[in-house]
Amino acid sequence: KLIGAGRMQFLNRPLQVEGLVRLPSAFGFIDPLHSTGIAHNLIAIERTVLAMEQHWGTSSLQTTLHEHEFLQFEEFLVSDLMIDTAYKCMDSPFAFEVATMLYFAAAIRYEENRLHQNDTSMGFLCAHEPFWKSAVGEVHAMCAELELAESKNQRKLESHVRNLIEPYNTAGLCRTDLNSMYAYTAAE
């Protein structure tokens, strides 16, 4: 018997309970399309350890942990919206590929930030950035409205996504001249 579930099987709201630290896997569950679960948990562990190192024995520890919980909530919402956007495009391989560029642009930006700036306040998949949340929402709405089987709508979507990810796009995503291949790898 096949049983369906909504977009998020469960999502707990931030609790702000003294002494409680929840990992994302205890906080909620999102469809695994982009395989965000392990990375999200590791990022939360890293944030928690750094917060404990920096704030142990001070009143600011609990405040910092509460802020992390609210950020995790935002991360879940943005991740879910990116995944749902991709599912809305599933009937068109071209549109699906374009929709997944949101995830790749955000993941690359997050990883580059970690490598070069070590800014632990940055949200997973750029969830802390108002521009990014708005951009993901725009593309989600666009995918819900357009008839993506039509090639003119696919090109419109591609152009819009390419423009939105431009400030984040250090890997050459959406380059038609490369036929969906990356121009370089991390090793280069």
Instruction: Examine the pLDDT at 7 and tell me if it is beyond 80.
Output: no
Q: Please, what is the angle between helix 130-145 and helix 60-88, to 10°?
A: 20
When pLDDT is averaged across residues 26-30 and rounded to a whole number, the result is 81
Which is more confident, 174 or 50? 50
Q: pLDDT tier at 20 (50, 70, 90 boundaries)? A: confident
Which structure tokens are listed for 29?
A: 């569950």
Question: What's 85-131 look like in SS3?
Answer: HHHHCCCCHHHHHHHHHHHHHHHHHHHHHHHHCCCCCCCHHHCCCHH
Instruction: Examine the pLDDT at 188 and tell me if it is beyond 60.
Output: no
Q: pLDDT tier at 79 (50, 70, 90 boundaries)? A: very high
Strands 8-11 and 28-30, how do they pair? Answer: antiparallel
Query: What residues have CB less than 8 Å from 179, skipping those under 6 apart?
Result: none
Task: Give the model's pLDDT for residue 10.
Answer: 74
Q: pLDDT tier at 95 (50, 70, 90 boundaries)? A: very high
Instruction: Examine the pLDDT at 179 and tell me if it is beyond 80.
Output: no
Per-residue pLDDT reduced to its tens digit, 100-137: 999 999 999 998 888 887 666 788 999 999 999 999 99
Closest CA to 86 of 132, 126, 129, 94: 94
Query: What residues have CB less than 8 Å from 188, skipping those under 6 apart?
Result: none
Closest CA to 136 of 86, 188, 184, 68: 86
Share the mean pLDDT of the chain.
Answer: 87
When pLDDT is averaged across residues 10-34 and rounded to a whole number, the result is 83
Q: Are 139 and 85 in contact (CB under 8 A)?
A: yes
> pLDDT > 70: what percent of the chain?
90
- For the chain, strand residue ranges (E) read 8-11, 28-30
